[in-house]
Homo-oligomer: A and B are copies of this chain.
Amino acid sequence: MESYFHWFDLLGIAVFAISGTLAAWRNQMDGFGVIVLASVTAIGGGTLRDLILNAPVIWINNNSYFYAIFIAAIGTILLVRNRLTIPHNTLQFFDALGLAFFVIMGTQKALDYGTSTMVAILLGTMSGVCGGMIRDVLCREVPMVFRGELYAVTCIFGGVVYTGLLALGVSQLPAMLAGMVALLLLRLAAIKWQLTIPVFSKHHNELNEP
């Protein structure tokens, strides 16, 4: 049980570290700014979740998360330096993959600490979204979560699939995998077909005030 939790966590950490490193590269950062941005993206969301749950912060007694970040960041640097192009949507893909891992793992951790299903899905979403939000704020970009394409909705959807399957009596590992796959597919579909949920857009041109 515990072992695949830990591997999912490490995988999520690694892909978010890759996404942070790519963001550093796109913003022409040098030196260990890469390490800072990779770490913040990778552990920001999980740290916030653990603080709110009043749980020991995930990496406080476990160096393996940092090894995952270092390996992912250095691997990405070597890859970027040796290839001249990276497909345009690589950052988005790794972000989606990290999102899938973190949202489901975060939802489960919150349930383990006895929160309601609703709060658990919210904390799962925060685990997945907040590292990237800090990354984007530090890079002075509009956070990806606001750039449409169902970002927060996919997180909530994945959490609902996972907790719904649990409620139907499905055992934990298949329910987790189903939740992760559902989240990833919806997110990739939203990116590919640029799905959005318009809320205000209809009236925008007619409004007097921006």
A residues with CB within 8 A of B: 24-37, 47, 51-54, 56-57, 59-61, 63, 66, 77, 80-81, 84-86, 88, 115-116, 118-119, 122, 129, 133, 137-138, 140, 142-143, 145-146, 148, 150-153, 156, 196-204, 206-210
Contact = CB atoms under 8 A, between A and B. Distances in A.
A148 B33 contact: yes
Contact of A115 (B32, B61, B85, B143): B61
Contacts of A140: 140, 142
Quickly give the copy total for this chain. 3
A111 to B, nearest CB: 13
**Most chain-B Cβ atoms within 10 A of its Cβ — which of A25, A116, A145, A200?**
A200
A24 B203 CA distance: 14
Given A84-B208, A85-B208, A31 B63 contact: no
Contact of A152 (B36, B142, B153, B202): B36
A63 B201 contact: no
B30 A200 contact: yes
A88 B156 CA distance: 34
A122 B67 CA distance: 13
B116 A31 contact: no
A208 B36 CA distance: 25
A152 B119 CA distance: 31
B33 A146 contact: yes
Given A33-B148, A57-B52, A137-B138, A28 B200 contact: yes
B81 A209 contact: no
A197 B51 contact: no
Given A30-B200, A31-B152, 16 more contacts: A26-B209, A26-B210, A27-B146, A28-B201, A30-B199, A33-B145, A33-B151, A36-B145, A53-B60, A59-B119, A66-B118, A77-B199, A80-B200, A84-B203, A138-B146, A140-B140
